[in-house]
Amino acid sequence: MIGYFKRSTITVLLLLLFIYIVIGGSGMSAQARLFTLAVGWIGIVIVGVQLIRELILQRNENQLVASGHSPAEPEEEGPGGNVDFAVTDEEKTSYGRMAAIEQFGWLWGMIACLWLLGFYITVPAMMGLYLRRHGESWRLTVLMTAGIWLAVWGLFHELLYLPFPEGYLFALLGG
């Protein structure tokens, strides 16, 4: 039983998160419910399939052990073994640590900007900033940023009539 829990903890937590999203989205208006239910049900299906795969694999390993056979020796997976987050020697350097800090900075910066500025400004702005950070030309950056803004605004606001909440700063300014 420990093997099941140890292998599937994150999968079960993700499944519970998507179930929560579906339950929470059920009480929303029809327009808002569309987005949350689509994401929630897709997540439930994908994570559910993964959970089933993990449980079958663990059951097969338990049957091997119960029959007196040892499970097959794992193949050499690399420096981190058979885990999703293997730390390589390059990542242990100061450059590797700075790269990891930068990526977490982008993530937390996007979350903060979503709260402060709202979805319609944050998504295109983050796309543009990320493109510039990685050396893309101004022309490509402006075209991609404008295209993302048009796609986001056109799809969610105009086509689906699903306006996202305005950012906190705009709410303070009375926007």
Q: Where are the domains of the chain?
A: 1-72, 99-175
Contact between 169 and 123 (Cβ < 8 Å): no
Query: Is a pLDDT exceeding 50 seen at residue 65?
Result: yes
pTM greater than 0.75 (yes/no):
no
CA dist 137 and 87 (Å) reads 33
Percentage of residues of the chain with pLDDT beyond 70 = 86
Which one has a higher pLDDT value, 109 or 3?
109
Is the pLDDT higher at 174 or at 41? 41
Higher pLDDT, 83 or 12: 12
Q: Name the residue with higher pLDDT: 12 or 7.
A: 12
Contact in structure between 26 and 18 (CB atoms under 8 Å): no
pLDDT of residue 6: 67
Mean pLDDT of 42-46: 94
Residue 166 bridge partners (DSSP)? 118
pLDDT at 80: 46
